[in-house]
Each structure stands twice: as structure tokens, then as C-alpha cells.
Amino acid sequence: MAEAAREDTPERGRPPDQDFADETPEERRERAIRIYELLAREYPDATVALRHDNPYELAVATILSAQTTDERVNEVTPELFRRYPTVEDLAEAEQEEVEEIIRSTGFFRNKAKNIVGMARGVVEEHDSEIPRTMEELTGLPGVGRKTANVILGNAFGIDEGVVVDTHVKRLSGRLGLTEETTPVKIERDLIDLFPEERWTMLAHCLIWHGRAVCDARSPQCAECVVSHLCPSSRAGGEQAPPSA
């Protein structure tokens, strides 16, 4: 789907416009907004890749997505939600039975413990309704800030923060939007650069661009719509260095 939205533009594959090392905070903010605008045009349909029909399913899928791919999670959730269609059903589940269903996602014992514990917390403490605040969500087993941001932004349309996954971390550094390396500090810098109403879509755009173009080991700078705004770009020359 990411490929379908892409089209030839004057910006694609352009060398960097300038040396960004000496840009002011305001210049960085203006560049960041332009990056967002171009990526949002490039990926207008960008959204969370985890298949879900309601906040409960998204919460479970997001917890399962740790240390695995969204595709792998999407392979196991149909059976999981067939067996446990509601949060009440999962709250009453035997952990061993859940483990067998989600085994292929890795770390399945801990994940099963977390999703069953999360469900029990929702039933017992929140009247079986997935919470809509960061504080309440992060009080549930298995729900950290990143997971809570995914739930709030995609299930409820609440821009509480920016999801920082491996793609967002990599691209934020390459694009010179942050010098930080920890998710909390990266998120803080992104929050300072972008308007609140763009936080959820920003993460989607960076994730989709990371998957389609700005690969960790083989970034395709010549195909990049924001290459002229990227301090790491090697468009017109060598490719950007790989990232771990």
C-alpha cells in the first residue's frame, strides 16, 4: 500500500539543500514540518498495521507486537479473538491455553501473562472498558508508554504522544530531528517539533517510510521524497550509512 501512494515529485532523490549542522531551533522546526508534509502526502493512508476491530483487540495486538513483526501478530490474533472475543473472555482465560495460540510471536509466556493480566485489570478496575488516559493505561500489565500511545492515538484519536518504535528512532536520528537515543527523550524532542494534532500520523509516516525507503541497512536515498531535507542523505552520491 505504501508503494501505491508514491509518485514522481521534484523533491524525490534530491541532494541535501544545505549543511544542517548550524540550523537554529526555529529552522529545525520549519524543516521538520516540511518533512511531515511531504511524508503525509507520500503516505496519505498510513495507519497502524495491526489488524483490529475495537480498542480491546488493538490493546492485545500491540502488547503481542513487542520483539516481533506486525505480520506475525496478525497471523495469531484471528484465532486468539475467536477464542476470546471480549475482554471479559480473555480475563477468564487459562494462561497456558493463551500461550499455545501466541507461541509464534516469541516471549509467549510473558506476553500471555501480560495480555491476560491486562484484561483482568480492565475488567476489575475499569468496568471492562479500555481506559482513555495515559496514566490508566500504563497502570495495566504489559502496557508501557509506547503501547499506550498506540492505543490512544489509533483506537480513540487522542494525540497524547508520539509512538517511538525502531523505525521512528532510526528515522528521527537520520533526519536530524533529535540527537537522543532513548525512546522517552526522542519522543520529547518530536513533541517539541510537531503540533499535537500530528503526533499519531507522524509516527505512521515515519514507520511507513522506514519500511518502504529508509531501510536500516540499505536506505534508498535516491527514492526518498525528503532527501533534500535530510542531513544523512547521500542522494546524488553514496547511500546513507546503515543503522543498527
Catalytic residues: 146, 165
Q: Which amino acid is at 86?
A: T
Closest by CA position to 47, among listed 155, 176, 180, 127: 155
Q: How many residues does the structure list for the chain?
A: 244
C-alpha distances (whole Å) from 121 to each of 1, 92, 142 are: 36, 11, 11
6 close to 213: Cβ distance less than 8 angstroms: no
Helices (H), the chain: 2-5, 25-42, 55-64, 70-83, 87-91, 95-102, 108-125, 134-138, 145-155, 166-174, 183-193, 199-212
The one-character DSSP state at 224 is -
Residue matched to cell numbers 506486525: 70
- Torsion from C-alpha of 130, 131, 132, 138, nearest 10 degrees: -120
For 225, which DSSP code? Answer: T
Cell, residue 59: 490493546
SS3 8: coil
